[in-house]
């Protein structure tokens, strides 16, 4: 299964002054598979050490963090020589061994020629002591579930994906638009978890795919209790289970009172932070004003929470697979919760880490997403159906005069002056489109 991140790993390998690389991401997004493929294909010697599976590894890091001694011990442990030029060292589930995390600092400072990748599904929530983390001594790569481009390639649609990636912004032939829309609807149901997608490709059975989604959900919920106190685990679960049903409402702003009657931020903020650090949710804050940089106008008290994957969201909402064949229902089900969540995930995968929404001070009109692309501010309104109402977008345009305004919807490409309608399946090309139009 081809991943865009593979090319980022190649770029990291070819750097002259590389740092140890930490690959971050939630469980089941494909970190281990990706690094295994990279190690087997791009290096003469590949060494994987899993700190969750093998507790004996911890003792190697117990008494020293000197890279030369560590390499000697790891070589003896595997009965294979680890050299600087032709070897990749992979520390998997590194969060289980804090001293191994700290060792990355010394590898960078004393033995920078070794190629080291570390990964950990819960790295963000397990490392609580700043002194144990090698700040400034490592590079990061974030891995997410498959985006729509990767989804097409997984289904063997390389030519179709390449066509979308390289085509200019113009209305697509009706045949192509309908074909891409069918794949998009399937993507909404399956999501982008590699195991789910692969199972459906092999078995063509939505029931089997849903079973894997439910298994992934169970593994996430097990982590809540495994890595937290019982009280904190309950609060995390309460927030987690509340998100799909808050997204299903017309007003998708997160409300603590919907988690539990009379609940307050002080009781649940740490639960939201845990879910964010575990890579399971995306937080989209409201902005008080639209000026550069957008981060300076973030309203920390008003926000929406989105799930890391539409397939996981659909499983939690018990979305039926028969909606995949309905051209209307899947887009409209649950007030477009799936579609808006999909857009958020696609934007995050495009490295728009800071994503906001804007609300008109008079009335209920709002713009679903606002992102910053270099010097440009990009407002994006999401339509799950064919409704042409763009009140929020027009209010935003009248007040702030952005160069372009975007709507993303099931409709084909349409351009009218500063207004651009992007089909939902074309959202992964947004940075390229913005660059072409600038």
Question: Which one has a higher pLDDT value, 45 or 248?
Answer: 45
Residue 330's pLDDT is 60
Indicate the residue among 125, 142, 159 that finishes a domain. Answer: 142
Based on the fold, state whether residues 101 and 165 are members of the same structural domain.
no
Instruction: Tell me the per-residue pLDDT of 204-224, one tens digit each, with 9 for 90 and over.
Output: 999 999 999 999 999 999 999
Based on the fold, state whether residues 255 and 394 are members of the same structural domain.
yes
Whether 262 has a pLDDT exceeding 90, the answer reads no
**Are 165 and 149 in contact, with CB atoms under 8 Å apart?**
yes
363 burial level (CB within 10 Å; 0-12, 13-18, 19+): exposed
Beta-carbon count within 10 A of 48 CB = 17
Preceding omega of 312 cis (within 30 degrees of 0) = no
**Are 374 and 363 in contact, with CB atoms under 8 Å apart?**
no
Based on the fold, state whether residues 117 and 205 are members of the same structural domain.
no
Based on the fold, state whether residues 160 and 301 are members of the same structural domain.
yes
**Segment 396-422 mean pLDDT:** 94
Based on the fold, state whether residues 131 and 246 are members of the same structural domain.
no
Based on the fold, state whether residues 87 and 204 are members of the same structural domain.
no
Based on the fold, state whether residues 114 and 168 are members of the same structural domain.
no
Instruction: Tell me the per-residue pLDDT of 139-171, one tens digit each, with 9 for 90 and over.
Output: 999 999 999 999 999 999 999 999 999 888 899
**Segment 257-268 mean pLDDT:** 90
Based on the fold, state whether residues 44 and 90 are members of the same structural domain.
yes
Whether 128 has a pLDDT exceeding 60, the answer reads no
Based on the fold, state whether residues 91 and 171 are members of the same structural domain.
no
DSSP character string of 293-309: SGGGGEEEEEEEEEES-
**∠240-246-248 over CA atoms, to 5°?**
120
| Residue 47 lies in domain | 4-142
Based on the fold, state whether residues 126 and 179 are members of the same structural domain.
no
CA distance to 52, 62, 64, 77, 435, per residue, from 98 (Å) = 12, 10, 13, 20, 42
Instruction: Tell me the per-residue pLDDT of 346-392, one tens digit each, with 9 for 90 and over.
Output: 999 998 879 999 998 877 789 999 999 888 999 999 998 766 678 89
Residue 125's pLDDT is 65
Based on the fold, state whether residues 401 and 255 are members of the same structural domain.
yes
**Are 244 and 307 in contact, with CB atoms under 8 Å apart?**
yes
Indicate the residue among 85, 118, 142 that finishes a domain. Answer: 142
Instruction: Tell me the per-residue pLDDT of 22-70, one tens digit each, with 9 for 90 and over.
Output: 999 999 999 999 999 999 999 999 999 999 999 999 999 999 999 999 9
Residue 388's pLDDT is 64
Number of domains in the chain: 2
Whether 331 has a pLDDT exceeding 70, the answer reads no
Based on the fold, state whether residues 327 and 245 are members of the same structural domain.
yes
> How far apart are the C-alpha atoms of 225 and 231, rounded to whole Å?
9
> How far apart are the C-alpha atoms of 149 and 158, rounded to whole Å?
9
Whether 270 has a pLDDT exceeding 80, the answer reads yes
> How far apart are the C-alpha atoms of 387 and 385, rounded to whole Å?
6
Which of 130-134, 173-177, 284-288, 404-408 shows the lowest mean pLDDT across its residues?
130-134
Indicate the residue among 85, 116, 142 that finishes a domain. Answer: 142
Residue 353's pLDDT is 77
Report helix, strand or coil for 116: strand
Report the chain's mean pLDDT, rounded to a whole number: 92
**Are 330 and 262 in contact, with CB atoms under 8 Å apart?**
no
Dihedral class, residue 93 (left if φ above 0, else alpha if ψ from -120 to 50, else beta): left
């Amino acid at each position: 299964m081809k991943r865009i991140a593979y090319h980022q790993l190649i770029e990291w390998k070819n750097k002259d002054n590389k740092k140890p690389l930490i690959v971050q991401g939630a469980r089941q997004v494909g970190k281990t598979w990706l690094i295994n493929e990279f190690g087997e294909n791009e290096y003469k010697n590949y060494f994987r050490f899993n700190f969750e599976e093998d507790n004996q590894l911890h003792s190697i890091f117990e008494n020293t963090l000197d890279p030369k001694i560590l390499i000697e011990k790891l070589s003896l442990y595997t009965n294979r020589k680890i050299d600087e030029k032709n070897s990749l060292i992979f520390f998997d589930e590194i969060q289980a061994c804090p001293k191994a995390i700290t060792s990355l600092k010394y590898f960078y400072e004393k033995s920078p020629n070794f190629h080291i990748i570390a990964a950990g599904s819960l790295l963000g929530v397990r490392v609580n002591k700043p002194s144990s983390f090698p700040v400034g001594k490592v590079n990061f790569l974030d891995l997410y579930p498959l985006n729509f481009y990767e989804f097409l390639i997984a289904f063997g649609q390389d030519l179709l994906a390449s066509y979308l990636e390289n085509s200019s912004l113009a209305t697509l032939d009706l045949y192509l638009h309908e074909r891409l829309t069918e794949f998009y609807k399937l993507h909404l149901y399956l999501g982008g978890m590699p195991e789910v997608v692969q199972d459906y490709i092999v078995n063509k059975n939505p029931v089997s795919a849903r079973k894997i989604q439910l298994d992934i959900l169970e593994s996430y919920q097990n982590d809540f209790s495994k890595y937290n106190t019982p009280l904190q685990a309950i609060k995390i679960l309460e927030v987690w289970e509340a998100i799909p049903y808050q997204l299903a409402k017309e007003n998708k702003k997160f409300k603590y009172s919907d988690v539990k009657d009379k609940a307050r931020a002080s009781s649940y903020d740490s639960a939201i932070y845990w879910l964010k650090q575990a890579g399971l949710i995306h937080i989209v804050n409201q902005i008080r004003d639209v000026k550069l940089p957008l981060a300076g106008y973030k309203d920390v008290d008003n926000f929406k929470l989105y799930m890391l994957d539409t397939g996981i969201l659909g499983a939690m909402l018990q979305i039926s697979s028969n909606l995949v064949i309905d051209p209307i229902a899947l887009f409209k089900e649950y007030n477009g919760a799936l579609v808006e969540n999909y857009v958020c995930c696609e934007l995050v995968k495009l490295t728009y880490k800071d994503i906001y929404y804007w609300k008109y001070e008079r009335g209920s009109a709002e713009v679903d997403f606002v992102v910053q692309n270099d010097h440009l501010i990009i407002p994006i309104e999401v339509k799950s159906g064919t409704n042409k109402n763009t009140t929020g977008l027009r209010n935003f345009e009248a007040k702030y005069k952005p160069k372009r305004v975007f709507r993303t919807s099931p409709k084909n490409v349409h351009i009218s002056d500063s207004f651009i309608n992007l089909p939902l399946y074309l959202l992964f090309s947004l940075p390229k489109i913005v660059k072409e139009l600038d």
